[in-house]
Amino acid sequence: MANASHAEVYQSLSAECSFLDENQRLWWHSTAPMFAHMLQSAEYMQQSQRQHLEIYKKVVIPMLGVYPVEDRPRWMSILTRYGTPFELSLDCSKNIVSYTYEPISLMTGTAHDPYNTNAIWEALHHLEVYQPGINLEWFSYFKEALTLTSEESALLLKNNNLVGDQIKTQNKLSLQLDKGDDFNLKVYIYPALKSLVTKRSTQDLIFEAAHKLTSLYPTVTISTPLKVLEEYLKSRAPNSTVKPRFLSCNLVEPSKSRIKIYLLEEQVTLTTLEDLWTLGGRRNDESTLEGLKILQELWDLINLTSKFCTYPVGYLSFNDTVKEQLPLLAGYTIHPDDPYPEPEIYFQTFGHRDQKLSKALMTFFQQQGWTKIAQSYEKDLRAWYPMADFKRLNKIHTLVSFSYRDKSPSVNVNLQSFETGEWDMCRSSPNL
């Protein structure tokens, strides 16, 4: 049986690696086996595998913070239910690997940076060494508009009881890895703390910031799709179960960048799924309806329980039995040349049986003619977690997303990326 720890590039880089501290060593051997195997399985050339893993080792791992052990204090990231700050994902239609992380510095969580506002600047500085084309114009703008200033951080710190169990993550980065040496960089920004300190809703903050782009950049004509999305949200009031949660943008020159607004939907039903996809019937063109038909098929295969779900407060312990279902997510890309926001639906599948999910996904892949991944997907899962009991496992698939454009469906799978491969042996072997 395949084992991610046997991936050639992981083995060779591990032999060459030296680590500044034990946290970095543990992060590498916990996550790199799955990462390396995923790149290999997705048919990246060996040189590309090595380049992407070297960037991960040199730039990302030093900014993942304290390695999670139950009795050690650490920064808790909204990225996963365990508060871990790193996650891999796979575009199953294009065989492209991505990963997302929340940069954490030595100052994170201290009086110098109590809400992890600043670590992302250091991360971007290091990434720019490998990709000089990174453009920070829109990032700088949205960061100022939607995350805490130093004065606001100090105010919240003095009144920390106001924060309570609120989301403390303010920003995270995502790298989509091309089949050469480059990557496409995206930032996600969470304005929950900004909302708390300014006493303005997350919805107001996000849409005000997005609308102001059109005055700052007259060629960015996005007012129409933004208004459509706002009208949809208003139409769901007053007893709405959907609300804006965060925003993302690409870190490229503004003329090529796109913003995306993400909504959390607590009513997990096929009816609300259809409503999110069509924006309450506002999107009713042929392509939208074609995509909806395929989305309905994916809904049937994934087989989420129809119910009302709130997002849980706090985080899970690694020893907790997972018995939760999370709300739906919907992301809307705002295109200057499209009067309607383009939807992407996210099934939050964490807590559902991984074996059933893998079989459902393989069936869907086969239906779409994605033969290679249909044949390899379950084998890859078992290679990433060779010691796991897949009959009981329910925490590997965290998100399954669906979009449809140019008559082509796209499915991305986000996967728990922690203690992979032969982790038990690596953890106890400091010479590795």
Tokens 């007012």: give the residue: 223
274 in a known ligand binding site: no
188 in a known ligand binding site: yes
217 in a known ligand binding site: no
94 in a known ligand binding site: no
Tokens representing residue 288 in the block: 């939208």
Neighbours of 296 (CB within 10 A): 14
For residues 274 and 265, the answer to whether their CB atoms sit within 8 Å is no
Q: What is the dihedral of CA 342, 348, 352, 355, to 10 degrees?
A: 50
Strands 259-265 and 267-268 turn out to be: unpaired
Which residues, in sequence order, are CB contacts of 374 under 8 Å at separation 6+? 362, 363, 365, 366
Segment (H or E) for 359 = helix 354-367
359 in a known ligand binding site: no
143 in a known ligand binding site: no
Phi, psi of 193 (to 5 degrees): -70, -35
Sign of the C-alpha dihedral, residues 287, 290, 292, 298? Answer: negative
234 in a known ligand binding site: no
Instruction: Please tell me the distance from the alpha carbon of residue 242 to that of residue 23, in angstroms, as a whole number.
Output: 39
146 in a known ligand binding site: no
Instruction: Please tell me the distance from the alpha carbon of residue 331 to that of residue 167, in angstroms, as a whole number.
Output: 19
The alpha carbon of 411 is separated from its chain's Cα centroid by a whole number of angstroms, namely 14
SS3 372: helix
Instruction: Please tell me the distance from the alpha carbon of residue 300 to that of residue 292, in angstroms, as a whole number.
Output: 12
Instruction: Please tell me the distance from the alpha carbon of residue 45 to that of residue 324, in angstroms, as a whole number.
Output: 39
Tokens representing residue 101 in the block: 């992380």
- In order of 235, 332, 409, the CA distances from 345 in angstroms are 19, 9, 12
346 in a known ligand binding site: yes
Tokens representing residue 96 in the block: 């492209």
282 in a known ligand binding site: no
For residues 418 and 31, the answer to whether their CB atoms sit within 8 Å is yes
- In order of 86, 240, 263, 274, 277, the CA distances from 232 in angstroms are 33, 11, 12, 13, 11
186 in a known ligand binding site: yes
DSSP assignment of 316-341 = --TTS-----PPEEEEEEE-TT-SSP
Q: Which residues are annotated as a binding site for dimethylallyl diphosphate?
A: 186, 188, 258, 260, 262, 346
What are the binding residues?
78-79, 87, 186, 188, 190, 245, 258, 260, 262, 346
Q: Which residues are annotated as a binding site for L-tryptophan?
A: 78-79, 87, 190, 245
